[in-house]
């Protein structure tokens, strides 16, 4: 970006400065001496190349030294360089045609001073612009890095959350199943796998959807063991795409938490849809009481909504259930 802008700056300055220095000398002779000669053209042409080259060299030197040397030192170098190019143009005319220089000495000195002021001012202006652009780009990169760091921190913080009530209830469930060792062992194995998955997934930015579904199945299995006939579930659809970790489980938790406390039976359906536009995940329950206003009231739904937005997706509430739309990446 910076290199491209510098090239555009060079191109935009080259032609105007070249034409300005080319016609300035003949114009001064016409205005001051009321005189014009064809010999002025080659002198002006050579000086135009010298002065324009000096301007571009000043910009190039600034780009190379910017950030390594103090700007004040660079600006002094630009002034000295501009004076050097102006004097070199004067020497060229003096050596090539001494009589012509002596005839129009006051014009030539005025011409060189004007050229010096033009090259110096344009060089300083261009370098100031490039310095401002460099600082703006640096600030932009810093803000982007800060934003990425903040999003990554939020992602890890949100992903690492484990519902303490679920853990407490699962331990109580295993205590109640001590007389049935096989069932207790099944619950313990799935709980340990679920907790291990939560810890490992929280360190990743994305995971295969199949792993997320397997984790949700373990979670629902444990809850089914706890609630028995009061809870049924179904998972429909498969996909090999990756999603941010732990998106579906909070939605399932919400359905169980806000329904089984008030009714005798709940059926939860997890659906997966996939097309060229992206991936669609849905979590609905037989009560279908979820509304848009409820999303901002509970921590679990709000956290999930925020994580979906960080991933560039959309969190919707439709027909009393939650729907997540994730773009193709």
Pinpoint the alpha helices (H) of 29-104. Answer: 40-65, 71-96, 98-103
- What is the C-alpha separation between 306 and 310, in angstroms, rounded? 6
- What is the C-alpha separation between 16 and 127, in angstroms, rounded? 17
Dihedral, CA atoms, 117, 119, 125, 127, nearest 10 degrees? -140
Instruction: Encode pLDDT of 300-321 as tens digits.
Output: 788 788 888 888 899 999 988 9
User: What is the arithmetic mean of pLDDT over 183-211?
Assistant: 86
pTM for this prediction: 0.54
Instruction: Encode pLDDT of 126-153 as tens digits.
Output: 777 777 777 888 888 878 866 765 665 5
pLDDT of residue 10: 56
127 Cβ contact list (under 8 Å, min separation 6): 58, 59, 62, 66, 74, 75, 78
Question: Are the C-beta atoms of 282 and 313 separated by less than 8 Å?
Answer: no
- What is the C-alpha separation between 108 and 102, in angstroms, rounded? 9
pLDDT of residue 4: 47
Confidence of residue 124 (pLDDT cuts 50, 70, 90): confident
- Please give the helix or strand (H or E) that residue 14 lies within, else none: helix 2-28
How do beta strands 266-275 and 231-236 pair? parallel
pLDDT of residue 233: 94
Largest CA distance in the chain: 119
- What is the C-alpha separation between 185 and 60, in angstroms, rounded? 73
For the structural domain made of 164-327, what CATH number should be given?
3.30.565.10
Confidence of residue 2 (pLDDT cuts 50, 70, 90): very low
Q: Could you give the C-alpha distances from 196 to 189, 191, 192, 200, 278, in angstroms and in order?
A: 11, 8, 6, 6, 29
Instruction: Encode pLDDT of 38-55 as tens digits.
Output: 666 676 677 677 777 777
User: 193 or 276: which carries more pLDDT confidence?
Assistant: 193
User: What is the arithmetic mean of pLDDT over 59-87?
Assistant: 77
Domain locations in the chain?
Answer: 2-153, 164-327
* Sole residue written with tokens 């901002």: 296
- What is the C-alpha separation between 225 and 220, in angstroms, rounded? 9
Please, what is the average pLDDT of the chain?
77
Question: Are the C-beta atoms of 74 and 65 separated by less than 8 Å?
Answer: yes
User: What is the arithmetic mean of pLDDT over 30-41?
Assistant: 62
pLDDT of residue 17: 64
- What is the C-alpha separation between 213 and 222, in angstroms, rounded? 14
- What is the C-alpha separation between 266 and 51, in angstroms, rounded? 83
């Amino acid at each position: 970006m910076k290199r491209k802008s510098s090239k555009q700056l060079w191109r935009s300055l080259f032609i105007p400065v070249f034409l300005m220095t080319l016609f300035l000398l003949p114009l001064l002779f016409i205005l001051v001496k009321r005189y014009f000669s064809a010999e002025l053209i080659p002198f002006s042409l050579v000086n135009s190349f010298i002065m324009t080259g000096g301007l571009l060299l000043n910009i190039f030197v600034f780009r190379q030294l910017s950030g390594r040397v103090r700007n004040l030192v660079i600006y002094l170098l630009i002034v000295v360089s501009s004076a050097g190019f102006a004097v070199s143009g004067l020497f060229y005319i003096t050596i090539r045609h001494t009589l012509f220089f002596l005839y129009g000495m006051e014009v030539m000195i005025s011409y060189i001073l004007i050229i010096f002021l033009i090259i110096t001012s344009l060089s300083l202006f261009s370098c100031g612009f490039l310095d401002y652009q460099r600082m703006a780009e640096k600030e932009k990169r810093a803000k982007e890095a800060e934003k990425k760091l903040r999003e990554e921190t939020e992602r890890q913080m949100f992903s690492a959350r484990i519902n303490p009530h679920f853990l407490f209830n699962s331990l109580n469930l295993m205590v109640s199943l001590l007389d049935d060792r096989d069932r207790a062992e099944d619950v313990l194995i799935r709980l340990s796998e679920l907790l291990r998955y939560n810890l490992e997934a929280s360190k990743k930015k994305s995971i295969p959807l199949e792993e997320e579904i397997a984790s949700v199945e373990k979670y629902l299995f444990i809850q089914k063991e706890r609630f028995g006939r009061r809870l049924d579930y179904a998972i429909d659809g498969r996909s090999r795409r990756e999603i941010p970790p732990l998106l579906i489980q909070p939605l399932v938790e919400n359905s169980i938490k806000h329904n089984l406390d008030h009714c005798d039976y709940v059926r939860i359906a997890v659906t997966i849809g996939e097309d060229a536009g992206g991936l669609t995940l849905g979590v609905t329950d037989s009560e279908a009481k979820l509304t848009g206003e409820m999303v901002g009231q509970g921590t679990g739904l709000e956290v999930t909504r925020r994580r979906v937005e960080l991933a560039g997706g959309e969190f919707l509430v439709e027909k009393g259930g939650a729907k997540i739309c994730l773009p193709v990446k």
